[in-house]
Amino acid sequence: MKYAFTIILGLFFVSANAQEINKKLEDQIKHKQIMLNECSREGLVEFPEFKASYDANYENYKVDSASVPQLEKLIKGKKIKVVLGTWCGDSKYQVPNFLKVVDAAKVKETDVTFIAVDGAKKAENGLIDGLDIQRVPTFIVFDKKGKELGRIIENPKKSLELDLIDILTVKKSK
């Protein structure tokens, strides 16, 4: 009986902490359906409002092929958290471009996490607590220990490729 109780308790713990992926709801600020919290790439690009601009923006973005070999080498082992709004024009434009860049740089799908926020730029369950999200999209690059290396906020300064290379090559003073 002791073991059965442990198993049941273990299952409860897992389900209590499991988060719904690709959650959709009516946003009280934007007054439209949005995605909220963690999203898969597939869920995001198939979300009707996001898909409407995703396909064209992904197709039309021209990756800076001269930067790809350097980026591919530098980005290995790094994690990227993308905080976006499925309702946000900049997210609808920049996220497809970013995905085309990471595809070209052969970034593993498991190294990129997507978190969708509501119109107040909030997510549930503490997903973006401590990230200081002011504008979306925000692309945050972390090293393998989870330390933030840098971020691209809303729009790149140079290009997604060059801004990522800059983030990944910045020498930290000791």
Residue 104 lies in a domain: yes
CATH of the domain at 123: 3.40.30.10
- Structural domain contains residue 8: no
Kindly provide the b/e burial profile for residues 111-128, where b requires at least 16 CB atoms within 10 angstroms of the residue's own CB.
ebbbbbbbeebebeeebb
Residue pair 161/64 in contact (Cβ under 8 Å)? The answer is: yes
Amino acid at 5: F
pLDDT the model gives residue 172? 53
DSSP 8-state secondary structure symbol assigned to residue 37:
E
Residues 6+ apart with CB under 8 A from 146: 79
- Kindly report whether the global pTM for this prediction surpasses the value 0.95: no
**CA dist list (Å): 60 to 40, 54, 129:** 22, 10, 34
The count of structural domains within the chain is 1
**Per-residue pLDDT, 79:** 97
Average pLDDT, consecutive stretches of 10 residues, N- to C-terminus, the chain (174 residues): 43 48 90 94 93 94 97 97 96 97 97 96 95 97 96 97 95 50
Assigned domain for 52 exists: yes
Tell me if 159 is assigned to some domain: yes
Residues 6+ apart with CB under 8 A from 38: 19, 21, 113, 114, 115, 116, 127
Q: Is residue 50 part of a domain?
A: yes
Q: Is residue 133 part of a domain?
A: yes
The span from the CA of 44 to the CA of 51, in Å, is: 8
Do 142 and 78 form a contact (C-beta atoms < 8 A)?
yes
* pLDDT the model gives residue 52: 85
Partners of residue 30 on adjacent β-strands: none
CA pair distance 110, 150, nearest whole angstrom: 19
Domain limits at 80? 21-169
Is residue 174 in some structural domain? no
**Predicted pLDDT at 2:** 46
Question: Which one-letter DSSP state was computed for residue 110?
Answer: G
Beta partners for residue 82, in sequence order: 114, 139
Residue 145 domain-assigned (yes or no): yes
State the Cα angle at 25 between 80 and 28, rounded to 5°. Answer: 105
pLDDT at 58: 97
